[in-house]
Amino acid sequence: VSLNQVLNTTSPNLPTEPTKIKGWIKNIRNQKNISFIEVNDGSDLGGIQVVGNKDAFHQLKHGACVEVEGSLVMSQGKTQQVEMQLQSVKQIGECPEDYPLQPKYHTMEFLREIAHFRSRSNTFGAMFRIRNQASMSIHKYFQKSGFVWVHTPTITASDCEGGGEQFQIKHVPSPDLPPPSNLQAGQEHHFFGQPAYLTVSGQLEAEIYALSHSRVYTFGPTFRAERSNTTRHLAEFYMIEPEMAFIQQADNVDIAEDFLKSIMRDVMENCREDLEFFDKKVDPQLLVRLNKALDRPFVRLTYTEALEILTKQQEVVFENPIKWGDDLQREHERFLTKKYDDVPVFVTLWPKSIKPFYMRENQENPLLVDNMDLLVPDIGELIGGSIREERYPQLLNRIKELKMDEETYQWYIELRKFGSAPHGGFGLGFERFLQYLTGMKNIRDVIPIPRHQNYCKF
Ligand code: 4AD
Ligand code: MG
């Protein structure tokens, strides 16, 4: 049985036979004759308190892996909780005193350095239960709404977002084998002779399946080589990308709001204790802010309206003054979410000139595209999405205008020639979403093993 099941047992249902639990010692307290150890197997925020004779525990150290066996009783302490009266204890893995995760306060920076142990701490224990729940909530939402999960490739020939922030794949040939004879010089190290990259987004491939299965979504790792050494960029992050046929701009925004609120609600219902922990230890405004976002409609501004607000406001002096046609910087995003009392803000209909090739030109104003970004407090952009250019001549034109390689995108253009349909979708950055849910300041602390500039430790 997992600890979590044991701890949730109530008094009349406690088993009469002895129970065995395996886990790691999180705490040892000694009194005169008896000792208390706290054992946790990762299924719960707290551990189970095991009470035993001092001698029984005398060899055990904080961090050791143990199997304890004993009878479960309701604790006599202030909080009526299940505890164990020890009958026997077996050490599975010892833990010498130079264990880096000592039971005291550690900074997040230090914990990042011991990423191979940090999952045993309270904060990361809670984080990864929430991460697991959020993944399940996302799948649940899509599955009950008729979406089909599509696995898009990690290795790709295209550059979805443009900007060339991709990692290229390289073949490391065996020194014992002769180089393949059919490849030209300089191509041996490519993907079988062809340049190929780690994907920055599964969107283009998801569009194939939206144009056959109507509603699909991806949920997988994506990679970006941007040299952004910030608290909200990773080189490898997970993205969720729904892609839907037969929708328009307003639908996309409505769906994004419903999706986000639904998964927030589901996680809040299923991870109450862990979220309360973050509210207490990490961000005292967390639950207030999440509940407010759930209770109110998200703000909706066009890019042009947002620019008007940003240029007319007199409350703050921006480091980067902004004018129409510029991308929003972090300070501008901050200003907007603050102005609307921490409620998430959609910014729609951006200038075409600063957005990727696939976005659909706005019907009324050819300088704009039918797209949206969702901004949330502290983090900034959480979701980016758009309606796609589904018209053959317009897409071809845009690809030519941007001097993209037509041949690489031939298949994508053909989707517009044969059985095209209006369609669109969006991408949610999973780690940014987890930051939003937990109040964690650094994106490196919401992914099990982070990958970013200067960090590829194991
Ligand atoms: O805005 P982005 O670049 O949009 C796309 O990739 C589209 N193809 C999505 C779509 O329409 N299907 O990225 C989407 C989201 C961002 O809003 C952000 O939350 C996250 O992905 N993101 C990152 N998260 C962590 N580290 C990075 N380097 C990120 N870059 C983007
Ligand atoms: Mg974006």
Sign of CA dihedral 324, 327, 328, 329: negative
User: Residues 322-346: what's their mean pLDDT?
Assistant: 97
Q: What is the pLDDT of residue 226?
A: 81
Report how far residue 240's alpha carbon sits from residue 35's, in angstroms, rounded to the nearest whole number. 48
Each residue's pLDDT tens digit, 21-35: 999 999 999 999 899
User: Residues 54-68: what's their mean pLDDT?
Assistant: 92
Break the chain into its structural domains and give their ranges.
3-99, 120-165+200-445
Angle at 399 between CA 398 and CA 403, to 5 degrees: 115
Q: How many residues are listed for the chain in this entry?
A: 458
Give yes or no for a contact between 359 and 317, defined as CB atoms under 8 angstroms apart: no
Report how far residue 97's alpha carbon sits from residue 116's, in angstroms, rounded to the nearest whole number. 17
Q: What is the pLDDT of residue 186?
A: 77
Residue bearing the CA closest to ligand 1, atom 23:
429
- CB-CB neighbours of 116 under 10 Å: 12
Does the CB atom of residue 358 touch ligand 1 within 6 A? no
User: Residues 202-225: what's their mean pLDDT?
Assistant: 98
Look at the domain 3-99 and name its fold: OB fold (Dihydrolipoamide Acetyltransferase, E2P) (2.40.50)
User: Residues 387-392: what's their mean pLDDT?
Assistant: 98
Does the CB atom of residue 203 touch ligand 1 within 6 A? yes
Pocket probe mutation, ligand 1, options 165, 237, 253, max atoms within 8 Å of Cβ? 237
Examine the pLDDT at 272 and tell me if it is beyond 90.
yes
Q: What is the pLDDT of residue 213?
A: 98
Give me the interface pTM, i.e. the ipTM: 0.99
The residue whose two tokens read 């129970």 is 19
Q: What is the pLDDT of residue 189?
A: 80
Pocket probe mutation, ligand 1, options 150, 166, 201, max atoms within 8 Å of Cβ? 201
Give yes or no for a contact between 73 and 23, defined as CB atoms under 8 angstroms apart: no
Residue bearing the CA closest to ligand 1, atom 28:
233
Does the CB atom of residue 380 touch ligand 1 within 6 A? no
**How far away, in angstroms, is 245 Cα from ligand 1 center?**
21
Does the CB atom of residue 430 touch ligand 1 within 6 A? no
Report how far residue 341's alpha carbon sits from residue 295's, in angstroms, rounded to the nearest whole number. 13
Amino acid (1-letter code) at residue 65:
C
Does the CB atom of residue 370 touch ligand 1 within 6 A? no
Sheet holding 380-387, edge to edge: 148-149, 215-223, 236-245, 423-429, 380-387, 371-376, 345-348, 299-302
3-state secondary structure of 29: strand
Does the CB atom of residue 26 touch ligand 1 within 6 A? no
For residue 208 the two structure tokens come to 């194939």
Each residue's pLDDT tens digit, 427-450: 999 999 999 999 999 999 999 999
Examine the pLDDT at 80 and tell me if it is beyond 80.
no
Q: What is the pLDDT of residue 15?
A: 87
What CATH code would you report for 120-165+200-445?
A: 3.30.930.10
Report how far residue 7's alpha carbon sits from residue 160's, in angstroms, rounded to the nearest whole number. 48
Report how far residue 9's alpha carbon sits from residue 19's, in angstroms, rounded to the nearest whole number. 12
Q: What is the pLDDT of residue 313?
A: 94
Q: What is the pLDDT of residue 300?
A: 98
Lowest mean pLDDT among 1-5, 328-332, 442-446: 1-5
Report how far residue 95's alpha carbon sits from residue 101's, in angstroms, rounded to the nearest whole number. 11
Q: How confident is the model at residue 73 (pLDDT cuts 50, 70, 90)?
A: very high
Please report the DSSP string for 186-226 in residue order: T-TTSBTTB--EE-S-SHHHHHHHHHHHSEEEEEEEEE---
Does the CB atom of residue 239 touch ligand 1 within 6 A? yes
Rg (CA), the chain: 26
Each residue's pLDDT tens digit, 156-165: 999 999 887 9
Q: What is the pLDDT of residue 324?
A: 98
Ligand (nearest to CA of 426): 1
